[in-house]
Structure 1
Amino acid sequence: MIQRRLTGIDAARGIALLGMVATHALPLYHQETGEPTLTGLVFSGRSSALFAVVAGVGLALLTGGSEPHDARTVGRDRRGIAVRALLIALVGLVLGGLETTIAVILFHYAVLFLLALPFLGMPLRRLAVWAGSWLLLSPVLAYLLRGWLTGAMAPSQIAGNITWEAFGTPAVLAADLFVTGFYPVLQWLSYILLGLVIGRLALTNLAVQAGLLTAGVFAAAAAKFLSAYLLGELGGFQALTATESGQRWPLARMMEVNLSPVEQTGSWWWLAVSGPHSNTSLDMLHTAGTAAAVLGVCLLLTRARPQLLLPLSAAGAMTLTLYSLHVWVMTIVDQQNPQLEPLPVYWIQVTFFVVLAVLFQRIEARGPLEFVTSGASRLARGKAGRGAAPARQKR
């Protein structure tokens, strides 16, 4: 029997969406003092990580949740997910062609879906080992590759978002996509794998929901404390300020908000950093921990009242449409009205998105892009896929 939709997962996805909107529409630093804003301190790095972790949860639920589909059905699931990924990649390329300052995540998101395909039929324990190992080792490999790529390739990064033109320089595209770009897929696969592990748990179970909250808070706090000890007591921060990047950038402030512009080469101490978008093991452990905690809270709050977080869960059920609309809106704002006050720009978007999402839910309709991707995915799975044994949990 198919159980009701887990609206807590939709709500977590809605929080990720609105958090990403905040980091795009609101300043991350105070203009006068240069100090991080509340938006920068709370949402930067954590919102996009939550988005990726919940994507992994969604893939797990699409393939059976806590009772995974058999091998034959998983094969059909893979076809459907692959088609979904290709359509998301197309949307990402279209948005990447806009003159926007937003680092569009969708093309990377699609590649992560494709890279996750081999893991979909994996038993939970083996999957957990892969997830933990990937989180620990991928930043080390990325550090080694980053130093080599930046020295061997000029440029080693796409100037802006990925567009059709980027395919004309495949080596630069691959370097940017997997290692040197804003959302390096090599490390970000950790979020998808951790989300798959979470999605394989019995998410309707009270102990699991509370466990996600507890374990998430512990992991997030432990990552920050360990990073502070390594950088402070053991002298890691002093070593980083002696590197070329450390002398060029205000590292202390950037470690609080966004380290993506910083070229993390010249010292192994970069791996001890936990700042947003540093993509180290400690950064990913912290942000994955906050993601698990948010999921736990949302599942607990909607356990008895599924519609308690309706504004968030409705928005979370059509994030592809709303995210794309947001990028388009911000492009218009940045080009035609760059002097608009950020706060009204943010709240007008949030209000419109929530109202639109609730209206779509009331008429039991999917968002336009969700309708297309879901329909194409079902077609790719084939008729046999529609008759497959249902999962106990439904995304």
Structure 2
Amino acid sequence: MGVDAARGIALIGLMVIHILPSWNPETGDASLAWILFSGNSAALFALLAGVGLGLGTGGVSVHRGRRMTADRVGLLVRAMLIGLVGLTVSSVMPAEDPPAAGILVYYAAFFLLAVPFLHLGARALFLWAAGFALFSQPLMQLLWNRLPGTTSYNPTFHELATEPLGILSHLLVTGVYPALPYMAYVLAGLAVGRLDLRSKTVQRTLLVVGALLAAGAKAVSHLLLYGAGGYDRLLLSVGMDEELLWRWLVWGPEFRPEGTAWWLVITTRHTNTPFAIAFALGVGLATLGACLLIARRIPGPLGPLATMGAMTFTLYTAHLLALAAEVHYDEPFLWFLIHLVVAATFALAWCRVFGQGPLERCVSVSVRTTRRLVAGPSTSAVGTRTVDAPPDRRTSTGEPGI
């Protein structure tokens, strides 16, 4: 329940970012919605996808042999199906100035890149996550101007056919949720999924370590910017002034300045710097730890959140399709409430009657069938509940989120 409740929070956070205003029109300052959820919701989604992968591949007892091979092939099938849905949704969205950047196609890329890491234990996965957090942004800066571009904000079937290399660079480096830095969240989540999440000690550790990581990233970034001269160095970079630098620190860079690496110390959302990743990862770990602890003591209040979190694939897809109508701009607060109430009502009603969400069931059946074909019937009843057993009628914490 705690994992699914955290997914529900991530889903609501993305709804907030897609619909509610990002700034105060009178002051120009970032809105509370932007401060709380921008970047953090997507990072939490990716982290929980990794947790689901960890649980679904054995948890603390990592699958080996044919079962791990079956897990890898099953993840390939999952990535393909999610990618197809994502491309379909992108094809429905407006091509110019779309109301949201869908994460589904990026998710497919995350899962494809996660396949080689499924057999690793928690310690190795945390080290790999740290490596992606530290080195992905410098690598992206080297590749940025050397990669082909794409004409679409949200990748579609047409761009996939006509601009395959552009779509590849978009998903890995230049897009809104580039896979290179986001693998830090996925692999950290996979490592967390290797821990005993039923342990109260582990739950407390996630909460404390997450809070310390987020606070530490903010504190060190502030010290480097304002105590070690980083702010002044950035101000001296070509084309920079105080107004532009203020916008940088609130909304993120409009360009990557040459001749200085000081911008890598900022924690602005979606910049994917090491400090920004550390902050968002810390927020995600603390959120997960808090949800696990609350579910342990007073699970009742988390019920609706967990039910929504158990079918984020269905609800997120429906949310994007509803945004494609572009009727929410004039009354954002009203439309946010409509999206939230409809999502919660549908999730509770569907779960009570059918259990697993409709898109989740389609993907789950396909993946389980693939796993059985690869692993053989003799392994179908061995190991954790989430691999081949029927899904729980309320939640599905063994599924990788979306």
Q: Could you say which residue in structure 1 is the equivalent of 2:372?
A: 382
Alignment of 1:311-390 (within 5 A): 311-332=304-325, 334=326, 337=327, 339-383=329-373, 384=376, 387-390=380-383
Q: Could you say which residue in structure 1 is the equivalent of 2:273?
A: 280
Stretch deviating more after TM superposition (233-242 or 174-183)? 233-242
CA–CA separation in structure 1 for the residues paired with 2:24 and 2:175 = 26
How far apart are residue 202 of structure 1 and its match? 0.5
Contact kept, 8 Å, 1:158 with 1:181, in 2: the verdict is: no
Matched, 1:264 2:262: no
**Which residues of structure 2 form unaligned runs of 5+?**
387-396
How far apart are residue 174 of structure 1 and its match? 2.3
How far apart are residue 157 of structure 1 and its match? 4.7
Contact kept, 8 Å, 1:214 with 1:293, in 2: the verdict is: yes
How far apart are residue 32 of structure 1 and its match? 2.0
Matched residue SS, 1:290: helix
Q: Could you say which residue in structure 2 is the equivalent of 1:29?
A: 23
- The one-letter code sitting in structure 1 at the alignment partner of 2:330 is L
Contact kept, 8 Å, 1:67 with 1:392, in 2: the verdict is: no
Q: Could you say which residue in structure 2 is the equivalent of 1:4?
A: none
How far apart are residue 392 of structure 1 and its match? 6.9
Alignment of 1:219-298 (within 5 A): 219-243=213-237, 246-247=240-241, 250-256=244-250, 258-259=251-252, 262-266=254-258, 267-298=260-291
Matched, 1:89 2:83: yes
Change (3 A) 1:243 1:170: farther
Stretch deviating more after TM superposition (245-254 or 16-25)? 245-254
Q: Could you say which residue in structure 2 is the equivalent of 1:107?
A: 105
Matched residue SS, 2:356: coil
Q: Under a length normalisation based on structure 2, what TM-score does the superposition of the two structures give?
A: 0.89
- The one-letter code sitting in structure 1 at the alignment partner of 2:130 is G
Change (3 A) 1:350 1:14: same
Change (3 A) 1:378 1:296: same
CA–CA separation in structure 2 for the residues paired with 1:270 and 1:114 = 30
**Which residues of structure 1 form unaligned runs of 5+?**
1-6
How far apart are residue 304 of structure 1 and its match? 3.7
CA–CA separation in structure 2 for the residues paired with 1:52 and 1:308 = 24
Alignment of 1:74-85 (within 5 A): 74-85=68-79
Paired residue total:
379
Q: Could you say which residue in structure 1 is the equivalent of 2:177?
A: 183
Stretch deviating more after TM superposition (246-255 or 48-57)? 246-255
Contact kept, 8 Å, 1:131 with 1:194, in 2: the verdict is: yes
- The one-letter code sitting in structure 1 at the alignment partner of 2:346 is L
Q: Under a length normalisation based on structure 1, what TM-score does the superposition of the two structures give?
A: 0.91
CA–CA separation in structure 2 for the residues paired with 1:299 and 1:339 = 36
Matched residue SS, 2:221: helix
How far apart are residue 137 of structure 1 and its match? 1.6
Change (3 A) 1:248 1:157: farther
How far apart are residue 170 of structure 1 and its match? 2.6
Stretch deviating more after TM superposition (375-384 or 20-29)? 375-384
RMSD (Å), alpha carbons: 2.0
Q: Could you say which residue in structure 2 is the equivalent of 1:140?
A: 138
- The one-letter code sitting in structure 2 at the alignment partner of 1:144 is L
Matched residue SS, 1:189: helix
Q: Could you say which residue in structure 1 is the equivalent of 2:210?
A: 216
- The one-letter code sitting in structure 1 at the alignment partner of 2:44 is L
CA–CA separation in structure 2 for the residues paired with 1:375 and 1:245 = 54
Change (3 A) 1:197 1:339: closer
Contact kept, 8 Å, 2:2 with 2:291, in 1: the verdict is: yes
Report Cα offsets for 1:174-218 as digits up to 9, x if no partner: 222211111111111111000011111100000000000000000
Stretch deviating more after TM superposition (51-60 or 136-145)? 136-145
Contact kept, 8 Å, 1:249 with 1:262, in 2: the verdict is: no
Q: Could you say which residue in structure 1 is the equivalent of 2:393?
A: none
Contact kept, 8 Å, 1:217 with 1:290, in 2: the verdict is: yes
